[in-house]
Structures are given as C-alpha cells and as structure tokens.
A and B are shown apart, each in its own frame.
Chain A
Amino acid sequence: MTDETDQTRTDGGGQPALPPDDKTPTWHERKARKDGLARLTYEYFERGRLEDQRLRQESDYIERDVLGFPTWPHETIRNLSIGSFFVGMIILLAATLPPHFGDEGDPSVTPEVILPDWYLYPAFGVLQLDPINPSLALLGGDKLVSDELYGVVATGVLVGVLVVYPFVNKGAARRPVEEPFWAAVGMVGLSFGFTISVLSIDQLVADRMTGMTAPLVFDLTFIAPVVIGVVTYAVLRAMREGYMYELNRRYYRLRPPR
C-alpha cells in the first residue's frame, strides 16, 4: 500500500503531518550546525537554560500559582473603579469648567500676560532665572549665554538627569525610608519644580499675595526646596531609626547582651 512508503502525500494521509519525535533535530544538533555569532547566541542561551534548571532543582522555593496580587479581581476592580471615576471626573469638569477662549492671535498686540499651560510653567520659570545667569566681567558684564538658551540648556540638563538617574541610584532598596537621601533629592526636585512654576508667575503672585514681592518669590524659589529636602531627610531618618529600634529591641530580647 502506498500508505507504507516514506513519501509525503499532499492529501495528508500516510506520513504524519508532524515529523516524528526522533527526526526532530535536537537542540544540540541545531547548535552544532551553526557557527559564528549564531553559535555564540545558542551557547549563551543554552548556558542560561541549564543554569535556570540547576537553580530550580536546588532551590527549596515553593512555586505558587499566584505570586502576587492577582490581576483579577484585585488589580482589575481597583483600576476599573478608579478609572471610571477618573473618566467621570474628566467629563464632569469638562461640563462645568469649559476652557477659556481668547481673542484671535495678533502679531501687533502683545498681551500683558503671556502664559502657556500650567505644565510648561517650569520651563517658563527657567526663563526668569536671568539674575543668576552667569555673566562675565571680561565681556563687560555681557551674559555668556542668552536667557532663552539658558532655558533650553537647563531643560536639556533636567531631562539628562532623569535619563541617567537609574544608573546612578542603584541597589535593591525601594522604600523611601530605606534611602532617606534619595527620597530627599526627589522632594527637592519636586518642590523646585513647583516653586519655579510659581516663579514664572511671580508678578501675579506678588500682586495677589500681601507681603510677597517678586525678589522674595525669587529667593523662596531656591530656599523652599532646600528646606523641604532637609525636613524630608530628617523625618525619614527618624522613621528609619524607629524601625531599627524595633528590630534591635526584638533582637536583644531574643539574644540579650552578655
């Protein structure tokens, strides 16, 4: 019968559609056929696989079905409820507080207050930093760079800092209490972002708030973040000491000092 021959038939009969197991090239055979970079890649992954296997065999870690908060229902319910509230908020605010719409753009009339959306206030505030834009006596007090360029550079530096940040602050710590210093750095950055936004509307603030003047706003722009940073650091350090105290107390109760 033709069914017995080795020939593959187009009607699907005879030979099984899948190659029998013993004809499937093994990992090693496939690897042996390769050389160069492909070979290197195979070897690398093969090593990793073996390593994984070995670790899994040696470990006494019990693999559980669900290692964490299950997506359903915990994460999903939370996200659905917060999410629908959020979208509802958008629509509610859109209905109650429609956006302002000004006059047509006119090159011949400069408005009194030029303001972008709030999230560009920080970038706008940087343009107000001209008092500390370094000037050179050699250039007769001329500024080294224009204020706008200063703004561009400052923004670039900020983004650069964000990009390299994960490569600077390494380690396994995650909670702010574990790293009071870095948490304080974060608070300084956060509050500076806020104060420099206020600086971009310093004139408005000085007009509206009694006791505020533009130079005072300028000074506060730099002083407030530092104060907030120091306070954050102090609080988190105190909290960390508190945790340590608890741990130590438990430790010494178990093993009293001789």
Chain B
Amino acid sequence: MSMKRRDEFDRRAWLAEQDLTHLEEVYLRGLMFLDRRFRLVDYLEVMEDMYYKINLQLPKSHTEQYNLDNKFWYWYPLYSLGLLTLLAYIVAAVTGALLGFYYAPSVAGDPADAYSQMLFIMGDLDFGFMLRSIHRWAAQFMVAAVFLHMLRVYFTGAYKEPRELNWIIGVILLVLTIGFGFTGYLLPWNQLSFWAGQIGIEMALTTPIIGEWVDELIFGGSEPGQPTLMRMYILHVFFLPFIVTALIAIHIGIVWMQGIAEPH
C-alpha cells in the first residue's frame, strides 16, 4: 500500500475535465489557492447569510401587494436621514479631533487660555477657521438630521413593535446629541458660552434634593469657572463620544438585524 496520500477530492483532476474559459480558470485557481489555505468553504454559509441580510432592507412585498408604492416613493429619500446623521457625526468627530490638538480647556490667563486658543485657531492656524467652521456646521447638521430622522420614524410608524427598543435608544441618542451641542457651546468661553453655562447651572441647582450634588458633579460649582470648563471638555471629548459611538453602533446593528420597517 502506497504511503503517498491522495487528495480525496482531487481538485486538479476535476479542474482538468472542466471546459472553462481562461477567465474562469484563473478565477477558480485563485479560489482553490485560497480555499486550500483558509478553508473558505467554512465561511461560505456565513457570507451567504450576510448577503441575504444585507439585501433584506425595505421589504416591498406588502408594498407591492397593496400597490402602496405610488403613495410612498416620496418618503424614500427621508430614509437616508439616519445615515446623514452618522455622516455629520463622522465629519464632526474628525474635525473635532483636529481642533483638539490646539485647544486648551483652561481659564487661566487674560484672556482665558480657552478663549485665546480659539483666537489662535481662527486667526493664525492654517486652515483653522475652516476647521472650526466645518465642526460647527457639522454639529448643526447632525442635530437637525437627528430631529428629522426622528420625525420620519414617527410619521412612518417605524417605532412600533418590534422596534420599540431601538426607538428608546434613539431617544437617548437625541438627548446625548443635544448634550454634545451644549457642552461644545461652552468650550470657546466667550460671553454666550459663559452665560449659557450660568443658565445650565441654575437649572441643575433647582432640581430638588439632588440639585446641588448634580450641579457639583456636572458643573463643579455655582458659577462657571475652571471646574465647569474642564468637566464640559471631558464630557465633550471623552464621555459623550465614547457612549454615543457605542450607542450608534448598537442602533444601526439593530436596524440591520430587524430590517427597515415595511410601509403598510
């Protein structure tokens, strides 16, 4: 008995008896090469599964059946609002990270470091004013898109079973997005920042029982100052990005799992 091991599934022989075009043969050889090394066949099922999941958005069966399409086509562009929110978030994140290289969350000095760094960014830094401008507009667009996205979900009834949890995650995202806006508004430490912070502090302080504690935790005092600025900065560049990014991932993951709500 020969000790030479034989390939049970003789790929080469199989390939030889196929009548293939040149392109097909190159393709198959490449596939074989990869398959023998990575056992692609094991992942085939997973990939197939993913293919169907990806292609399972906006089921139209019902829509076709009741001929609702003619009443719905004008809604479709609004289904991209969630993605637009994400895009604005990404633009804001990139420009924000760049702005972070030059910003200093400190009220020391005269004018305060935070303020003078903003002046530096806008006046001296190459492309700095543009960077700040884009960051700001991206933030405005993100908030607007979140609101509109929520409205489209509301008016297409997409929050109903089984998507209640995603709606709730959405509400949390809405609040956090506004939190992004508020904490960011305070960072340049100009007049509007300062007095917006003052109002925030007053609102926190009036909450019964836990008011002072909340104020101390979030604003660090009864008047906007160094602790306030530092807290807003940490919230804006650490806590919120971390939480919001994770929640967006979960949110969109759930949309992927559940598919987009079918218009009825």
Residues of A within 8 A of B (CB): 64-72, 75, 78-79, 82-83, 86-87, 89-91, 93-95, 97-99, 101-107, 109-111, 114-120, 124, 127, 145-146, 148-149, 151-152, 159, 162-163, 165-167, 169-176, 178-179, 183, 186, 190
Q: Are the CB atoms of A90 and B138 closer together than 8 Å?
A: yes
Contacts A71-B55, A79-B83, A95-B130: A174 and B112 contacting too (C-beta < 8 A)?
A: no
Q: Is B136 a contact partner of A99 (Cβ separation < 8 A)?
A: yes
List the interface of chain B (C-beta within 8 A of A): 54-61, 68, 71, 76-77, 79-80, 83-84, 87-88, 91, 111-112, 115, 118-119, 122, 129-130, 132-134, 136-138, 140-141, 143-144, 147, 151, 154-161, 163-164, 167-168, 171, 174-175, 178, 181-182, 185, 188-196, 198-199, 202-203, 205-208, 223-224, 259-264
In the complex, are the beta carbons of A101 and B122 less than 8 A apart? Answer: yes
Q: How far is the CB of B122 from chain A (nearest CB, A)?
A: 6
CB distance from B42 to the nearest CB of A (A): 10
Question: Across the interface, which residues of A come within 8 angstroms of B264, CB to CB?
Answer: 172-175, 178
Q: Once the chains are docked, how many angstroms separate the CA of A71 from the CA of B198?
A: 48
Name the distance in Å between B85's Cβ and chain A's nearest Cβ: 10
**Mostly helix, strand, loop or mixed at chain B's interface?**
helix
Question: What separation, in Å, do the CA atoms of A178 and B264 have in the docked complex?
Answer: 9
In the complex, the answer to whether B207 meets A152 with C-beta atoms within 8 Å is yes
Tell me which residues across on chain A come within 8 A of B141, comparing CB atoms. Answer: 86, 89-90
* Bound form: Cα–Cα A65–B205 in Å: 58
Chain B residues with CB below 8 A from A146, complex form:
206
Q: In the complex, what's the smallest C-beta–C-beta distance from A20 to chain B, in angstroms? A: 15
Please give the distance in Å from A108's CB to the nearest CB on chain B. 11
Q: CB-CB < 8 A to B129: which residues of A?
A: 98
